[in-house]
Structures are given as structure tokens and as C-alpha cells.
């Protein structure tokens, strides 16, 4: 039995966070190690360690985003990009994003785009 089974609908392979509709419920899941903090603008890219830059997602999403941020960092070092954004999308009233879209740009033109489907 997987850790996310409680949050899945029958037949689904992804967790279901529809009922996580308050910050209190998010904190409760974080305290149970079901959700972990993720910074939209990574701290290594001078992102702020603040509530408006932080959201909570499953650990695997934190790890996947970190891999994509490694790719973006390499593009930055190579001078191929000079802009970055990570935008969450939400379903219904959930406080857990259903999707993250990461875009690295050069002079406003997207160079690298990845979407992480969370649930």
C-alpha cells in the first residue's frame, strides 16, 4: 500500500488532493511527511525563503523540479537563458497545486519548458 493511496480515487495512479482545502490541512500533511516545501523561485537562484515563494507538494515533485532546475542552471551558466519562472496551477479549492510549469527564457523567448503533473 503506497503512501498516497488515501488520496487516490479508485483506478487512479496519482494522488488526489481535492480535500486539502486549507493551509491547516497542508501543514497536517507536511507534519506527516506526505507533503514537502517547494520554492517556486529556487533559493539557489536568489529566491526568497518566504510563504509567497513556497508551496507544498509530494517529495517526488520536489526532486523532479530540482532536476529541472539543474538543467536551467546549466543553461544559465552557458548564457543560453536569462529568465526563469515556475507557475503553479490548482484544481478547485485545493491548496496543493495540480501542476507546475517551469519556463527558462532568453530575452523573453521560451528556451526550456517543462510541466510537472502532480495530481
Assess whether pLDDT exceeds 70 at residue 7.
no
More confident residue, 2 or 97: 97
Which pLDDT score, from 0 to 100, does residue 97 have?
A: 98
Which pLDDT score, from 0 to 100, does residue 12 have?
A: 52
Q: What's the mean pLDDT in 27-53?
A: 97
| Residue 67 CB neighbours (<10 A) | 9
Q: What is the percent of the chain where pLDDT is above 90?
A: 87
Read off the pTM. Answer: 0.84
CA dist., res. 4 & res. 49, Å (int): 27
Which pLDDT score, from 0 to 100, does residue 73 have?
A: 98
In 1-119, alpha helices (H): 23-31, 59-77
Cα–Cα nearest to 102, from 60, 51, 67: 67
Give tens-digit pLDDT for 41-91: 999 999 999 999 999 999 999 999 999 999 999 999 999 999 999 999 999
48 contacts 40 by C-beta, under 8 angstroms: no
Q: For the chain, what are the domain ranges?
A: 14-117
95 contacts 22 by C-beta, under 8 angstroms: yes
Which pLDDT score, from 0 to 100, does residue 4 have?
A: 44
Q: Is the dihedral of CA 20, 55, 83, 78 positive or negative?
A: negative
Amino acid at each position: 500500500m503506497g503512501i498516497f493511496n488515501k488520496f487516490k480515487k479508485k483506478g487512479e495512479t496519482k494522488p488526489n488532493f481535492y480535500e486539502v482545502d486549507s493551509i491547516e490541512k497542508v501543514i497536517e500533511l507536511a507534519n506527516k511527511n506526505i507533503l514537502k516545501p517547494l520554492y517556486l523561485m529556487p533559493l539557489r537562484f536568489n529566491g526568497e525563503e518566504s510563504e509567497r515563494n513556497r508551496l507544498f507538494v509530494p517529495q517526488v515533485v520536489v526532486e523532479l523540479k530540482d532536476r529541472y532546475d539543474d538543467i536551467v542552471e546549466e543553461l544559465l551558466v552557458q548564457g543560453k537563458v536569462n529568465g526563469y519562472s515556475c507557475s503553479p496551477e490548482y484544481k478547485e479549492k485545493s491548496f496543493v497545486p495540480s501542476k507546475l510549469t517551469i519556463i527558462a527564457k532568453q530575452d523573453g523567448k521560451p528556451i526550456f519548458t517543462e510541466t510537472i503533473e502532480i495530481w
